[in-house]
Chains A and B, each alone.
Chain A
């Protein structure tokens, strides 16, 4: 599960989370007692539509501002480790 979530947990964390999460899952298991047959799942409390907007150009962030928070950058690009190496 940690790997799916891209977390690298220490052995101590694994032990602690295992215990705490099973406690929480025991608690939420109460939901099983409810008959939900025929109930549509509710993903949002209000009906959500995908409104269309005009296809017009708007100002966007200049590259320098968009990259200002980059931990590492190279000119107008984010600098990242090689993607094809390893794995």
Chain B
């Protein structure tokens, strides 16, 4: 027996609320789907069958008493393993956090629980969210459900796969330079990076604090909007969260785009974009026009510098944030070969050398360099100035248009292993997504077609800060006008 397809968030919530389905049955279906599919797909690092079952039964009991159980009551949701969960392992895909059980919940987790969501498990990701293919996970390989010889994208690869393969109704990821939008694109689902400050980062393990945001994945734009409504809002525990009103995002989605001005940045359609991706995105632009939007050529002149700027700032912040992993208070601690204790300095270096993987060490080195005396001005400070110019580019463009439409990723999913030996090639996969984080704007990726090899292609809709309603409306109108969402990846058990 397999899960009903597709398991939508709102649909599932409503079916449970009106008594058509029991939360326990929905939860069991999700657990069975994980049991059947995840051996091959590798989306989960930890499945909390017991806790999820208990939470689902509690929802059923609340409903049986005739009480209102919350906006996500009974909905199975998976969470990227960089978000701390009280009592559930949180490894960030790293050996250095092997065995770490957080004593508290992230604010987004507390909000999910308060809304009645059933936390089904923690999803696979690149170590400390550093990567674009999920291949930097220290624990297991995550595979793309559309073609299991290919990567699912990253760093929130597991969260994208869990949704794409219908192992849960929705999931949370984190996006520092594209880590939600890019895997959403490669796995054929919808993924949103909220505006910096829209969602609390309290309990999100920090990679690059000025760029990180938590955001939702689902198979439909409306479901992403609903989940955003639950997790968004000011949090006194995160001083960078912004105290701005939270609209009910899923209630205000449009289906026509009359009067909407869509900008297409000429710098995004250059060398390096795959021909099939370009064709699909151009097709989507034509569809937006059919829906009433007007298409405008815009320029984001500093685009060619965004990736370099991003990798300097992100690694500088990471090298500082990851200084806390020293083997003293939690996680892995290195010991001598004979089991004896090391001297303090040796304990630090040995713990970090053995606990961190290749890409994390590479980024710590790059960030340490960019911040070091003598190089700080030339690298880190320079990058921050370029960041200001990138933000100005967007500010100028958004005076002329309402949203900007681009490809999410220059190519569809690539073969596992294809870019592992060449970090710079891997970084180039983020070329269309990093600017949004640098500028602090919001962006969403929505499926817009398939390659000749049946691999999903994503359309990215970018908006100014706090324009989530607007970009979700454009994505929703587009999604409703096409039938891409009716295609599902082949299932291992039916293949």
When C-beta atoms are compared, the residue in chain B nearest to A86 turns out to be: B343
A57 at the interface (CB under 8 A from B): no
> In the bound complex, how far is the Cα of B439 from the Cα of A42, in angstroms?
9
> How far is it, in angstroms, between the C-alpha of A41 and the C-alpha of B389 when the chains are bound?
9
Q: Which of the residues A6, A27, A30, A42 comes within 8 Å of B326, measured between beta carbons? A: A6
With A7-B353, A45-B465, A53-B236 already in contact, the answer to whether A61 and B440 are too (CB < 8 A) is: no
Q: Is A36 an interface residue (CB 8 A)?
A: yes
- A6 to B345 CA separation, bound complex (whole angstroms): 8
Instruction: Encode B314-347 as 1/0 by CB contact (under 8 A) with A.
Output: 0000010001001111111100000001111111
Q: Mark B423-439, 1 if CB is under 8 A from A, else 0.
A: 11001000000000011
Q: Is the CB of B311 within 8 A of A28?
A: yes
- Are A45 and B196 closer than 8 Å at their CB atoms? yes
Measured CB to CB, the nearest residue on chain B to A40 is B388
Inter-chain contacts of A51 with B (CB < 8 A): 239
Asked whether A34 and B331 contact (CB < 8 A) given A48-B240, A61-B103, the answer is no
Q: Contacts A36-B386, A36-B389: A69 and B424 contacting too (C-beta < 8 A)?
A: no
> Does B308 lie within 8 Å of A28, measured CB to CB?
yes
Smallest Cβ-Cβ distance to B239: which chain A residue: A51
B381 CB, min distance to chain A CBs, angstroms: 6
Cβ–Cβ < 8 Å partners of B352 in chain A: 5-8
* Nearest-neighbor residue (CB-CB) of A80 within chain B: B328
Closest to A68 in B: B103
- Chain A contacts of B439 at CB under 8 A? 45
- Interface 9-residue window, one of B280-288, B365-373, B397-405, B407-415: B365-373
Q: Which of A1-15 contact B (CB under 8 A)?
A: 1-9, 13
B481 on the A face (CB < 8 A): no
A65 to B349, CA, bound (A): 27
The yes or no answer to B269 lying at the interface (CB within 8 A) is: no
In the complex, the answer to whether A36 meets B382 with C-beta atoms within 8 Å is yes
* Cβ B382 vs Cβ A32 within 8 A: yes
Docked Cα-Cα span, A1 to B362, in Å, equals 11
Interface members, chain A 26-81 (any B CB < 8 Å): 27-32, 34, 36, 39-46, 48-51, 53, 61, 65-66, 68-72, 78, 80-81
A82 pairs with B372, CB closer than 8 A: no
Identify the closest chain A residue to B323 (Cβ).
A6
**A81:B387 contact, CB within 8 angstroms:** no
B344 & A83 in contact (Cβ 8 Å cutoff): yes
How many of B's residues come within 8 Å of A, CB to CB?
71
- Chain B residues with CB under 8 Å of A30's CB are 304-305, 308
Q: Is the CB of B387 within 8 A of A41?
A: yes
Asked, given contacts A28-B379, A40-B388, A45-B438, whether A61 binds B104 with beta carbons under 8 Å apart, the answer is yes
Residue of A with least CB distance to B301? A34
Interface of B is mostly: helix
B356 neighbours in A (Cβ, 8 Å): 7
Are A42's CB and B387's CB within 8 A?
Answer: yes
**Which residue, of A31, A48, A82, A85, has the highest number of chain B Cβ atoms within 10 A?**
A31
In angstroms, how far is the closest chain A Cβ from the Cβ of B45?
A: 17
A46 touches B362 (CB 8 A): no
| Nearest residue, chain B, Cβ from A20 | B423
Once the chains are docked, how many angstroms separate the CA of A1 from the CA of B347? 18
Select one of B331, B344, B385, B427 contacting A41, CB under 8 A.
B385
Q: State whether B239 touches A48 (Cβ < 8 A).
A: yes
CA–CA, A69 to B86, complex, Å? 12
**Contact indicator A24/B423 (Cβ below 8 Å):** yes
Please indicate the chain A residues that have their CB under 8 angstroms from the CB of B379 in the complex.
28
- A21 and B361 contact, CB distance less than 8 A: no
Across the interface, name the chain A residue whose C-beta is closest to B319.
A5
Decide: A78 and B311 in contact? CB cutoff 8 A.
no
Contacts of A69 in B (CB 8 A): 99-101, 103, 329-331
A13 neighbours in B (Cβ, 8 Å)? 361
Contacts of A31 in B (CB 8 A): 305, 308-309, 312, 382-383, 386
B200 beta carbon closer than 8 Å to chain A: no
Interface 0/1 of B135-167, CB less than 8 Å to A: 000000000000000000000000000000000
Q: A21-B369, A44-B240, A70-B328 are in contact. List 10 more A-B contacts (CB 8 A).
A: A17-B361, A25-B369, A34-B386, A39-B389, A41-B387, A46-B240, A61-B104, A69-B99, A69-B100, A86-B344
Q: Which 8 A-B pairs have the closest CB atoms?
A: A45-B440, A41-B384, A71-B333, A69-B330, A28-B308, A8-B349, A36-B385, A42-B388
Query: Can you list 27 A-B pairs with a CB-CB distance of less than 8 A?
Result: A1-B369, A5-B352, A6-B349, A6-B352, A7-B349, A7-B353, A8-B353, A20-B362, A24-B427, A25-B366, A25-B369, A28-B312, A31-B309, A31-B312, A32-B382, A40-B385, A45-B210, A45-B438, A45-B465, A46-B196, A69-B329, A80-B328, A80-B347, A81-B341, A82-B343, A85-B344, A86-B344
Binding site for A on B (CB under 8 A): 99-101, 103-104, 196-197, 210, 236, 239-240, 242, 302, 304-305, 307-309, 311-312, 319, 323, 326-333, 341-350, 352-353, 356, 361-362, 364-366, 368-369, 372, 378-379, 381-389, 391, 423-424, 427, 438-441, 465
